Amino acid sequence: MRESIIMKIHYGTALGAVALVAVHILMRMSQKFSDSLQYQNVIANYHFLPYALMLEVLLILLSVHGFNGLRVILLELKQGSTYERMINYGSLAAMAALIAYGSRTILMAGMGVS
């Protein structure tokens, strides 16, 4: 993939994540902050489908943005075609693994499986 496309995705995911994190923080304000962290209230978030979907999207945005940022830092630290290929595929695999694990958590909490 061309670097400009990757960076467009990088900037886009950053903007999307800022918007969704803002919604996430505002949702904490619908009740007392300490109450919003109570076990039942946290679980209730996952049972509310639109909110669970938003968390899923947020997870994807942050994973894509974060791991691409890490990839960029690592590419600047060291150069070489083997190293760069390793970093590119490694960050892609780590990104997919984090999304899979996070999605599993959201799904299980949403279905009431603990």
Note the residues at the interface with another protein (CB under 8 A): 2-4, 7-8, 11, 72, 75-77, 79, 84
**Residue with Cβ nearer another protein (7 or 111):** 7
**Residue with Cβ nearer another protein (3 or 34):** 3
Q: What contacts 8, CB < 8 A, 6 or more positions away?
A: none
CB of 23 to another protein, least distance (A): 26
**Residue with Cβ nearer another protein (2 or 34):** 2
CB of 99 to another protein, least distance (A): 23
CB of 67 to another protein, least distance (A): 15
Exposed, middle or buried, 72 (CB in 10 Å: 0-12/13-18/19+)?
A: middle
- CA gap 56, 86 in Å, rounded: 27
SS3 for 51-63 is HHHHHHHHHHHHH
